Amino acid sequence: MAWQEFRPYVSAAERKRRAAREVARRKKKGLAVQPVAIEGRAIARTFWGSAWCDHLERHCDVENRLPRGRTYVRNGSVMHLGIGPQRIDALVQGSELYEVSVSIAALGKPRWKKIVSACSGQIDSLVELLQGKLSKGVMRVVTDPDKGLFPAPAHIEMQCSCPDWATMCKHVAAVLYGIGARLDTKPELLFVLRGVAVSELLASASAGAAKPNPRPAGVDGRKRMGHDELSSVFGIEIDSGGQKARGRKV
């Protein structure tokens, strides 16, 4: 029998307390802890978060490994999830607190250029892009399973400190779903994760949609959101031209 079978029983409540203590210890050492909290049954509710989860489940080579991950992310087991360029680092509570890392290949330049070209003139603003208020044509482009923004399983490398031999254990699956939940509130992180600049997409779209306007902005009496307001709402930095955005590493 495997040595793990002789471990003393530890209640779920005690495991949770131990994990919380360890997370608190790491927080004191400087880790910017960002847990994933799910309200209700739906893991993701917005366009970008839902599109990420749908993309995961579309691939038959991983779909049978995902159900336990859904349970884990729903019950708050993803105690930290940080997203940066091409990398996710997370802490997941299981029998112990496990460290999970996921590396995702940057989007290839030829593929990105095709996406930018296909979306040219079809995105009205940064606000609409991040809110997922896109035309059906743009939605088809960015969510295309083979040519869109989301990575295929072959572009994802996963590691977990748990003893499970499977490449995608339940802790990794929970983290992958946690990314979808995080994109609900910080959709700009998808572009950070794939190593592409959202400003390029917006610049191309603006160039394609540009029309002469003899009246200066604001003379029609409509209320405009300033750059500071947009930054506050979406958690991003916008330059003075209103077309460049940088996702913040979390």
CA atoms of 72 and 159, how far apart (whole Å): 17
CA atoms of 197 and 211, how far apart (whole Å): 24
What's the chain's length in residues?
Answer: 250
Model pLDDT, residue 249? 39
Domain borders along the chain are 11-208+226-246
Is residue 213 within 8 A of residue 71, CB to CB? The reply is no
Q: What is the pLDDT of residues 153-178, one digit of tens each?
A: 889 999 999 998 877 899 999 999 99
Q: What is the pLDDT of residues 86-96, one digit of tens each?
A: 999 999 999 89
| 218 pLDDT more than 70 | no
Model pLDDT, residue 113? 94
Q: What is the pLDDT of residues 103-114, one digit of tens each?
A: 999 999 999 999
Q: What is the pLDDT of residues 28-70, one digit of tens each?
A: 999 999 999 998 889 999 999 999 999 988 875 666 678 889 9
Model pLDDT, residue 46? 94
Positive or negative CA dihedral for 75, 79, 84, 88? negative
